[in-house]
Amino acid sequence: MKKVVTLQHVYGKNKEKTIGSIKTLVENELKDLDVKLEISVTPENWAEFSLEGDDEEVSANFLVSRYGTPAARAEPGKVYIGFLQTFEEGAFLVNIGVPVRVEAGELVALGPGKPKQLAARFGLVPHLPVEIEVFVANGKQKARFTKKQLDLWWSWKKAATDRVIVNGATRSEIKSAIKKTGHGRDIYEVERLGILEHAIICREKTDGPGIVAAIGPRMKSEMGVVIGDSK
């Protein structure tokens, strides 16, 4: 048996449901491999997978590469997968296994404004997967978002359509809410960003905040909106 702790936080009010959703999604990803899996939650609320079968090693490597594992410390010169934790007055707090601050001075690539204003502008909400790099400047260890991460957020902002970020829900739950509120024709697709983190890509004439107002009461999720500048 092989055990893997992934950098996936089990969050939300109904953790049992969350665990079930994660298990179903990962089982689907590993459906072509000879492996059985069970999921549990560590004291730090990370999703831990127990893998058993001829392909348990391959499955473990896939989960590590796909979702990452919690880091014990932040080391300069390394790139880490993490998730947004909170937006403070002077920094974004990113969890890579340990909390890392991305100070306001390292957010200038996102334009003017305080961290909370920047988060709102780019539709950023807690638990959104991110990529950061740790470095040393003037003898002090710091962190910043990678160019790849910044380019992704700017591609959202410069798009011709709005985008709604939804965390803590499965793709099927989001699609169901969209269908039940009669907005099926107003979106292009639901893009997966993480296990339970997604982006609803609106059509050109669809108003992102309107989608939030419609499906928000049904989702009980953290939601953010990116208003496309090219609309």
d(CA 12, CA 148): 28
Q: How confident is the model at residue 13 (pLDDT cuts 50, 70, 90)?
A: confident
Q: pLDDT category, 57, cuts 50, 70, 90?
A: very high
- 141 pLDDT band, cuts 50/70/90, is very high
**Order of strands across the sheet that contains 46-52:** 2-9, 46-52, 36-41
- On whether the CB atoms of residues 215 and 207 are closer than 8 A, the answer is no
Q: Which residue has the higher pLDDT, 168 or 51?
A: 51
Q: Single out the residue of 89, 79, 96, 84 nearest to residue 122, CA to CA.
A: 84
Enumerate residues 6+ apart whose C-beta is below 8 A from 98: 70, 71, 72, 73, 74
d(CA 153, CA 110): 9
* Whole-number pLDDT of residue 219: 86
- The tokens describing 69, both together, are 């594992």
Domains of the chain by residue range: 2-67, 79-154, 158-226
Average pLDDT over residues 188-208: 94
218, containing H or E segment: helix 208-219
Q: Which CATH class is domain 158-226?
A: alpha beta
Residue 81 has pLDDT above 80, yes or no: yes
Q: Provide the pLDDT confidence category of residue 28 given band limits of 50, 70 and 90.
A: very high
Q: Which fold is adopted by the domain 79-154? A: OB fold (Dihydrolipoamide Acetyltransferase, E2P) (2.40.50)
Residues above pLDDT 70, as percent of the chain: 100
Mean per-residue pLDDT of the chain: 94
Looking at the DSSP bridge assignments, the partners of residue 101 are: 93
Residue 38 has pLDDT above 90, yes or no: yes
d(CA 190, CA 202): 9
